[in-house]
Amino acid sequence: MPAFFLARFNQYYLAVSIAGLAIQWFGDSLDGRLAYYRNIPRKWYGFALDLSMDWVSIGLMGFGFYVFLDDAFKILAIAFLAGYAWSVILALLRYKITNKYSIDTGLVGPTELRIGISVMLLLAMIYPFSLVVVGTGVIIGVYIVNFIEFYNVLKYGNEKDAEERAQK
């Protein structure tokens, strides 16, 4: 987040944020693999830790965007956080209803999201206003995917209700 504050004065500090995303991705990918390699997997602990740390990192990123963006565009940071939160809620609802966990929403998972954010930050270093333009497009895309996923979750819920009624 300090990189976003410094980027208000020199957009090239956004490169520090990209490095932070890379470190976060490496740590996120490594923890579960190490547990399985050591033959000490902790499914539910790891699940809770992973979701919580993902939310903390996205929250910090959203706050960073909020600090970086001009006042007229700060709503984009809030819309980004709300869209991401909705994606997480939909993934958990889908898991509860279907008993199949997938953190991906549509064709986009956390790795693709990090790559997309890194590309947006690279563009913003060259064309500072591009973060607003591309970010708005990404946020709109997230909401479209979320609405589709919301429809699917409701469909899964309806099917599960019908199954449970049939069992009675």
Interval 3-22 mean pLDDT: 89
Given a cut of 90, whether residue 21 has pLDDT beyond it is: no
**Residue of 107, 91, 112, 108 lying closest to 156 (CA atoms):** 91
Please enumerate in sequence order all residues whose Cβ is within 8 A of that of 88, keeping only pairs 6 or more positions apart, or say none: 51, 54, 55
The whole-chain average pLDDT of the chain stands at: 88
SS3 102: coil
Amino acid at 108: V
- For 60-75, write each residue's pLDDT tens digit: 889 999 999 999 999 9
Query: Quick one: pLDDT at residue 5?
Result: 84
Query: Quick one: pLDDT at residue 95?
Result: 92
Between 95 and 40, residue with greater pLDDT: 95
Q: How many domains does the chain have?
A: 1
Query: Quick one: pLDDT at residue 1?
Result: 66
Range of the domain at 7: 2-167
- For 75-89, write each residue's pLDDT tens digit: 999 999 999 899 889
If pLDDT is split at 50, 70 and 90, which confidence band does 104 have? confident
Write out the two tokens for 16: 């520090």
Instruction: Give me the residue label for tokens 């830790």.
Output: 49
SS3 130: helix
If pLDDT is split at 50, 70 and 90, which confidence band does 38 have? confident
> Are 28 and 53 within 8 A, CB to CB?
yes
Query: Quick one: pLDDT at residue 75?
Result: 96
